Amino acid sequence: MRRLGTLLVVLTALLAGASSALAHPERQSYFPDASKGSVPKYRHTGAPLIVCKSNSRRLIRKAFKGRRHARTRRARLRALESCRFRHIQAAVNHARTGDRIQILPGVYREEPSRKIPVDQARCASMFETPDDGDAKVATFEHQVRCPNSRNLIAVIGDSLSDPDRECDKRCNLLIEGLGRRPRDVTVVGDRRKRDVIRADRADGFSLRNVWVEQGAFNNVDVVETNGFRLSRLVLPYGQNYGVLTFASDHGLYDHIEAYGNGDSGIYPGSGPEGHCRRYGIEIRNVNSHDNVLGYSGTAGNGTWTHDSRFHDNNAGISNDSFASGHPGMPQDCSKWTGNQVNSNNRNFFTNDRDRYCMNTPFEKRRREVVCPQFQVPVGTGFVLYGVNSNVIQDNDVYDNWRSGVRLFWVPASIRGDNDPAHQFDTSNGNRFIGNRMGLRAGGRPAPNGIDFFWDEQGVGNCWRGNRGTGGRITSDPPTLPGCPRGSLFQQGNLAKLGAEVPCAAWDPDTMPDPPGCTWFTTPPRPRR
Amino acid sequence: MKWAVAATLLLLAGVGGLLLAGDRNPGPRAATATAPLQWKSKPSLVLVPSLPRDRILTGSVRNASLRAVDLESDRVQIIDAAGRRLKATARFAQHFSHGLYPWSMHVTGSKFERRRIGEIATIRPGEDVPLTLSWRVPAGGSEPVEARFDGGRLALPR
pLDDT confidence band for A7 (50 / 70 / 90): very low
Which chain A residue has its CA at the smallest distance from B90's CA?
A: A502
Tell me: the pLDDT tens digits for B62-111?
A: 998 888 999 999 999 999 999 999 999 999 999 999 888 888 888 878 88
**What is the per-residue burial (b if ≥16 Cβ within 10 Å, else e) of A388-417?**
bbbbbbbbbbbbbbbbbbbbbbbbbbbbbb
Can you tell me the distance from the alpha carbon of A16 to that of A234, in angstroms, rounded to the nearest whole number? 41
Mutate to test the interface with A, among B108, B115, B116, B133 (most CBs of A within 10 A): B116
Please give the distance of CA A154 from its chain centroid, rounded to a whole number: 18
Query: Looking at residue A1, what is its pLDDT?
Result: 42
In this predicted structure, the answer to whether residue A464 has a pLDDT above a threshold of 90 is yes
Mutate to test the interface with A, among B41, B44, B89, B143 (most CBs of A within 10 A): B89
Cα torsion angle, B99, B102, B108, B112, sign: negative
Query: Looking at residue B153, what is its pLDDT?
Result: 86
pLDDT confidence band for A489 (50 / 70 / 90): very high
Closest CA to B71 of B144, B136, B156, B153: B153
Can you tell me the distance from the alpha carbon of A475 to that of A453, in angstroms, rounded to the nearest whole number? 6
Cα torsion angle, B42, B86, B72, A457, sign: negative
Asked if A28 and A325 touch (Cβ cutoff 8 Å), the reply is yes
In this predicted structure, the answer to whether residue A4 has a pLDDT above a threshold of 50 is no
DSSP H helical ranges for A128-236: 140-145
**What is the per-residue burial (b if ≥16 Cβ within 10 Å, else e) of A283-306?**
bbebbbbbbbbbbbbbbbbbbbbb
State the nearest Cα–Cα gap between A207 and chain B, in angstroms.
27
- List C-alpha distances in Å: B33 to B68, B149, B153: 13, 10, 7
**Contact (CB<8Å) B89/A322:** no
Please give the distance of CA A198 from its chain centroid, rounded to a whole number: 13
Closest CA to A103 of A182, A159, A199, A218: A182
The residue ranges of DSSP E strands in A109-259, in sequence order, are 127-128, 137-138, 151-156, 174-177, 185-188, 195-200, 205-213, 218-223, 226-236, 241-246, 249-259
- List C-alpha distances in Å: A174 to A75, A89, A143, A431, A501: 19, 13, 20, 38, 45
A3 Cβ partners below 8 Å, 6+ apart?
none
**Contact (CB<8Å) B117/A414:** yes
Q: Which of B50, B58, B113 sits opposite A132 (nearest CB)?
A: B113
For range A321-334, the mean pLDDT = 91
**What residues in B contact A416, CB-CB < 8 Å?**
112, 116
Asked if A242 and A235 touch (Cβ cutoff 8 Å), the reply is yes
The whole-model pTM stands at 0.91
Query: Looking at residue A455, what is its pLDDT?
Result: 98
Mean pLDDT over all residues of chain A? 93
| Helix (H/G/I), strand (E/B), else coil: B81 | coil
**Contact (CB<8Å) A515/B97:** no
Percent of chain B with pLDDT over 70: 77
Q: What is the DSSP letter of A172?
A: T
In this predicted structure, the answer to whether residue A305 has a pLDDT above a threshold of 60 is yes
Kindly report the backbone phi and psi dihedral angles of residue B97, in degrees, each rounded to the nearest multiple of 5, phi listed first.
Answer: -160, 170
Asked if A129 and A114 touch (Cβ cutoff 8 Å), the reply is no
- Which neighbouring-strand residues pair with A296? A318
Query: Looking at residue A469, what is its pLDDT?
Result: 86
In this predicted structure, the answer to whether residue A134 has a pLDDT above a threshold of 80 is no
| Helix (H/G/I), strand (E/B), else coil: A353 | helix
In this predicted structure, the answer to whether residue B29 has a pLDDT above a threshold of 60 is no
**Contact (CB<8Å) A515/B88:** yes
Cis peptide before A447 (omega within 30 of 0): no
In this predicted structure, the answer to whether residue A308 has a pLDDT above a threshold of 90 is yes
**What residues in A contact B58, CB-CB < 8 Å?**
494, 497-498, 501
Task: Write out residues 459-498 of A within 8 Å (CB-CB) of B.
Answer: 492, 494-495, 497-498
**Contact (CB<8Å) A133/B94:** no
**Contact (CB<8Å) A494/B94:** yes
Query: Looking at residue B107, what is its pLDDT?
Result: 82
Q: What is the DSSP letter of A64?
A: T
Query: Looking at residue A325, what is its pLDDT?
Result: 78
For range B55-62, the mean pLDDT = 96
Can you tell me the distance from the alpha carbon of B67 to that of B61, in angstroms, rounded to the nearest whole number? 15
Q: Which of A132, A408, A504 sits opposite B98 (nearest CB)?
A: A504
Can you tell me the distance from the alpha carbon of A130 to that of B61, in angstroms, rounded to the nearest whole number? 31
Query: Looking at residue A428, what is its pLDDT?
Result: 97
Query: Looking at residue B21, what is its pLDDT?
Result: 35
State the nearest Cα–Cα gap between A292 and chain B, in angstroms.
13
Kindly report the backbone phi and psi dihedral angles of residue B27, in degrees, each rounded to the nearest multiple of 5, phi listed first.
Answer: -75, 180
Query: Looking at residue A329, what is its pLDDT?
Result: 93
For range A456-481, the mean pLDDT = 96
- List C-alpha distances in Å: B83 to A245, B9, B79, B141: 51, 56, 6, 12
Asked if B149 and B75 touch (Cβ cutoff 8 Å), the reply is yes
Can you tell me the distance from the alpha carbon of A92 to that of B1, in angstroms, rounded to the nearest whole number? 79
Query: Looking at residue B110, what is its pLDDT?
Result: 84
In this predicted structure, the answer to whether residue A26 has a pLDDT above a threshold of 80 is no
**Contact (CB<8Å) B95/A23:** no
Cis peptide before A147 (omega within 30 of 0): no
Asked if A296 and A270 touch (Cβ cutoff 8 Å), the reply is no
- List C-alpha distances in Å: B62 to B25, B38, B89, B116: 19, 5, 19, 18
Closest CA to B46 of A218, A269, A279, A499: A499
- Which neighbouring-strand residues pair with A382? A317, A405
Closest CA to B139 of B50, B18, B52, B22: B52
**Contact (CB<8Å) A416/B93:** no
In this predicted structure, the answer to whether residue B1 has a pLDDT above a threshold of 80 is no
* Terminal C-alpha separation, chain B: 72
Task: Write out residues 401-420 of A within 8 Å (CB-CB) of B.
Answer: 408-411, 413-416
Question: In this structure, what is the dihedral angle of CA atoms A251, A135, A422, A330, given to the nearest 10 degrees?
Answer: 10
